[in-house]
Amino acid sequence: MIKFNLGVLLAERNLNINKVHNDTGLSRITLSAISNNNGQGIQLDTINKLCQYLKITPGELFIYVPFDISFKFQYTDNITIEVVHNNNKYEYTFYYSIDQQKTSIKNHLKEFIGYGCNLDLLTDRFEYENEEKERNIIKNYLKQLPIQLYMIFESEIRRNLNKLLDERIEELSQLEEFANIDIENFHKFIEFSLDEIFGIEI
């Protein structure tokens, strides 16, 4: 798996996309896509300009590990993390729920305080004996990720969870009982952590 390291490089140098755009002439859209690892078909000239501007080698612009790791939202209440390595595929699914409540809820894993929503991560729902084994396999692969790649992967899951949260809040805003509530006052950010699910210390 190969990912761009631009977001980390910019943060380390206290730079933002507008500054890089103004200094290099590179498109803001392109820079945002690379920074968020959504860039496809990036031109060599773009890579060359970034390397010259940041004074790095092309190798420093990328992060590589010899396996593929990804996640997918399935149905409405679970996320599956998948690793493909040497033609073998490993998966682990954890469950979550986003509850529309006005009070904080504390569960065995994490407390998320929100005016309107609570994220409950249900990682101990092992129905089969081999699920713990699958969890440990994925955990071992996550521990092999360089810190930058680990943070990128975690950030991608968090971004998708928060997108889902925004959609739930928008649905709430259409309900009659919430008609007089200022939606802007809802807590709209989920502090999601892979560390707490897998017990990883980075």
Are 81 and 99 in the same domain? yes
Distance CA 105, CA 187 (A): 14
Are 156 and 82 in the same domain? yes
Distance CA 9, CA 40 (A): 19
Question: How remote is the C-alpha of 128 from its chain's centroid?
Answer: 27
Cβ burial of 145 (10 Å; 0-12, 13-18, 19+) is buried
Distance CA 98, CA 119 (A): 5
**Per-residue model confidence as pLDDT tens digits over 145-173:** 998 889 888 888 888 887 877 777 677 66
Specify the higher pLDDT residue, 51 or 175: 51
**What does pTM read for this prediction?**
0.72
**Per-residue model confidence as pLDDT tens digits over 35-67:** 888 777 889 999 999 999 999 999 999 999 999
Give me the CATH number covering residue 41: 1.10.260.40
pLDDT at 94: 79
pLDDT at 164: 77
Range of 165's domain? 68-198
Domain stop point among 64, 88, 115:
64
Domains identified in the chain, total number? 2
Are 102 and 181 in the same domain? yes
Strand residues in 28-87 grouped as ranges (E): 62-64, 68-74, 78-85
**Per-residue model confidence as pLDDT tens digits over 63-96:** 999 999 999 987 667 888 999 999 999 998 877 7
